[in-house]
Structures are given as structure tokens and as C-alpha cells.
Amino acid sequence: MAPKLKTLTRELSKRGPHRVLRGNLALAGQPGVVYTPETGFNLPAVAFAHGWMVGSHKYEQTLQHLASWGIVAAAPDSERGPVPSHLGLAADLRATLDICVGVRLGPGQISVHPDRVAFAGHGMGAGAAVLAAAQRGDVGAVAALFPAPTAPKAENYASKITAPGLILAGQDDVDSLTSNARPLSVEWGGPVVARTVNDGQDAGLIEGRRLLGALGLGGSERKTQSATRCLLTGFLLFHLTGDKKYQDFADPDVEIPHTAPLLPVEPHSDARASQLLRK
């Protein structure tokens, strides 16, 4: 790995240079939270969807991390019950992004550029981000972090997305029934970066979830969070700001520490297997 990328990876794994402010989306009619840099006009923004049975407070440090690097990060707090509507969460993601673009944030010193916006999500929220992006074609990027199956299937809508995509999966979870990262990467309509996170877990991005963390046994979660925040931040900074310093994070062929390429299943392999069995 080039020294420049090694340095960037180390930097993006830590908090950025901006002081972070917190706001309440409910003041604009949408339950949720928004984190912003202290000041800045025409900033990039990402609407982030939570996973199953958790809320935005479980991603507080991730959202703050993005804001510290100059990205407005907003997360709706809807559809938190045991039987959520994924389409409903997607609709609230779109509403959240509309609020970020249409409302002057903070003490009037923060605004978002309408052409520098993205959707992201974790677990079922990753699927909701895909559904939202398929219905709104003017986003600059989409990130599906450890995506889980949704109804309707997000992979059936991925082909409609022309925006660049980032798909991350846990090394040991990618081929499980709880992950649809591989079909999403195959069906994506635009350019896509698909990676597995070494020793990463699909639930590892959720903050403060495990009792074992209090006993010092949460190393895998910390690795998952650190790697994910680095990859997501670099990807968004490149696609939403055009800063070429971060272009390696948008290149699927670049080797990045603690990750590996998510290779698609060879086409028609099942059909060939069936033919061999019949011979």
C-alpha cells in the first residue's frame, strides 16, 4: 500500500478537524437527529438509516465522525419496532435529506448543497438506503453497510441506481442468510466498490450493544467501526466534494488495510453445476 493511502487511512479512522454540533430533526417534523460541522455553507450531507430494532443513538459516534470531517449526517428515528416498514424508512430517509437541503441548520451558519447528498444505512437500513436512492435519482453516492434482506428486496431495485455505491460486508457474514451484499453488488446499476471487512461483524457497527464490550472483549466491534468509518468517510468525501485526495476509497481495485474485495459469484455457476450432476 502506498504511504499516502496508509496515512489517509490512519487519519480517516480518527475524528476529523471540525467541531461538531447536534440538532433535533423533530423541529422540522421528522423524528431523528442531525450532526453538523460547527460552520460551513454548501456542505455535503448524508441521510443515514438505522438497523433493525435500534435507533440513531446507536450510531452516534459514527454520525459525529462524519460531521467532524465536514459532512452533515442526519438519521431518522422511525420504524424501530419489530415489524418495520422498509419502504417507510426509505421515505423518511428522503424526507430527512429534503430537510437537510431545505432548512438552514444550526445557528444559521450551516447549509447543504443540493447536488452533494447521499444515502447510507446499516443492516435493514442499508436496504432502505438503496430503496430511497432508486426512487430519488439525484444523489451523489449510496453506501450499504452490512446490508440485510428487506421487503421488497433491495437488490431488485439496485439496477435503477446510477450513483456510485459502497457495499461493505463482514468477512464471515457475507454468504449468510442475513446478508444480501453479494446480490446487491451484482445488480448495482452504477459503479460500485464492494469489500469485506476482515474480522468484521454485521452487528459490530452498532455502538454500545454488547455487554462483552465492558469486559474488554469488544475488539471485533471496534475494528468494524474503525474500518467502516474510514471507508465510508473517504468514499463520501471523494464523491460528494470531488477531492481527488480520497479517490482511492472509490476505486475497487485499490488494496485497503483490513479489507478484501467482495468478488461476485461466477455467473451461471448453478446452471453448470446442475448440468454436471445430470451427466
Which homologous superfamily is 5-261 in?
Answer: Alpha/Beta hydrolase fold, catalytic domain (3.40.50.1820)
The position carrying cell 430537510 is 99
**Quick check: 111 and 41 in contact, CB under 8 A?**
yes
Could you read off the pLDDT of 123-144 as tens digits, one per residue?
Answer: 999 999 999 999 998 899 999 9
pLDDT of 81 > 60? The answer is yes
Cα distance between residue 42 and residue 19, in whole Å:
17
pLDDT of 209 > 90? The answer is no
Q: How confident is the model at residue 267 (pLDDT cuts 50, 70, 90)?
A: very low
pLDDT of 239 > 90? The answer is yes
Cα distance between residue 243 and residue 12, in whole Å:
14
Q: Give pTM, 2 decimals.
A: 0.90
- Identify the H or E element spanning 1: none
**Quick check: 202 and 170 in contact, CB under 8 A?**
yes
| Residues 165-187 as b or e (16 or more Cβ within 10 Å = b) | bbbbbbbebbeeeebbbbbbbbb
Task: Pick from 3-17, 134-148, 198-212 the range whose average pLDDT is largest.
Answer: 134-148
**Quick check: 86 and 124 in contact, CB under 8 A?**
yes
Side-chain half-sphere exposure of 51, counting CA atoms within 13 A: 19
Could you read off the pLDDT of 17-71 as tens digits, one per residue?
Answer: 999 999 999 989 999 999 999 999 999 999 999 999 999 999 999 999 999 999 9
Q: 85 is written with which cell numbers?
A: 416498514
Structure letter (DSSP) for residue 176: S
